[in-house]
């Protein structure tokens, strides 16, 4: 599909769902991989074994992206092991859904700290390394709800909309150094996040999706790999919508 031999890619939240499919797809194209995770070490180890089966070098790094200190430690390990970073995919994210009148301040803060501040933390450190090399690819995982909103997700939608502003602003800051910054906005994708939805909710969204089906993690991973490749070298500050026509 796209040639990524010799590239080093970090994907946050990469032991399940879209993150897992992304590291697999990047590895298939020849990229060496850093799998970041925070929970479920067993799934992380399984992800590592799967990625290595494609003949690339790969490591696991457990780190909470909402912690700047842990992000710094993660990048120190990356520098020690690989000596560089070429591609960063900010995929880690959580949900704490509720109507605003019932949502706790703590649940709002937790989602913002992981989904938005966590991306800022990773970007802040990664750009320093990329600027020195005068090249790099950053892909941030937004969401369709950041554009259309969704009842019960004022916290989540806020973070995903915020990532668009972050993406556009950072693209303007680092473009002169040959670093591209883009976002992918998945629609409703078959994943752990959508597994918790009732069948009636899933059917409702299917009826409103022109293609009539929920997306699959590989649909998102392929868009990420395109943005990470040299074929997308003149694309920056943009959002690729992968939602089956929902919006």
> Which residues does the annotation mark as catalytic?
156
Q: How far apart are CA 61 and CA 49, in angstroms?
A: 14
In whole angstroms, give the CA distance from residue 30 to residue 6: 7
> Which structure tokens are listed for 4?
């990524």
Phi first, then psi: what are they for 211, rounded to 5°?
A: -80, -10
| Distance (Å) of CA 220 to CA 6, 102, 236, 245 | 22, 32, 18, 14
Q: Percent helix, strand, coil in the chain (nearest 5)?
A: 50, 15, 35
Q: For residue 49, what are the contacts with CB-CB under 8 A and spacing of at least 6?
A: none
Within 53-153, residue ranges assigned H as helices are 68-81, 105-112, 118-133, 145-148
d(CA 115, CA 90): 9
- Measure CA of the first residue to CA of the last residue in the chain; give whole Å: 27
* Helix H or strand E encompassing 59: strand 58-62
Give me 46's structure tokens.
């399984």
């Amino acid at each position: 599909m796209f040639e990524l031999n010799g590239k080093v890619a970090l994907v946050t939240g990469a032991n399940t769902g879209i993150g897992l499919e992304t590291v697999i797809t990047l590895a298939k194209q020849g990229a060496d991989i850093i799998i970041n995770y925070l929970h479920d070490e067993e799934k992380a180890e399984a992800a590592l074994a799967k990625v290595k089966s494609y003949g690339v070098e790969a490591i696991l790094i457990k780190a909470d992206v909402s912690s700047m200190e842990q992000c710094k430690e993660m990048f120190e390990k990356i520098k020690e092991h690989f000596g560089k970073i070429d591609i960063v995919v900010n995929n880690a994210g959580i949900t704490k859904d509720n109507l605003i009148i019932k949502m706790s301040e703590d649940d709002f803060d937790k989602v913002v700290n992981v989904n938005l501040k966590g991306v800022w933390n990773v970007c802040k450190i990664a750009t320093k390394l990329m600027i020195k090399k005068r090249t790099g690819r950053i892909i941030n995982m937004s969401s369709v709800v950041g554009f259309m909103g969704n009842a019960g997700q004022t916290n989540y939608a806020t973070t995903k909309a915020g990532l668009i502003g972050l993406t556009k602003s950072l693209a303007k800051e680092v473009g002169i150094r040959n670093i591209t910054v883009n976002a992918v906005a998945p629609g409703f994708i078959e994943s752990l996040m959508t597994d918790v939805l009732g069948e009636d909710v899933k059917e409702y969204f299917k009826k409103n999706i022109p293609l009539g089906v929920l997306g699959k993690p590989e649909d998102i991973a392929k868009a990420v790999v395109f943005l990470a490749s040299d074929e997308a070298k003149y694309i920056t500050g943009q959002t690729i919508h992968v939602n089956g026509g929902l919006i």
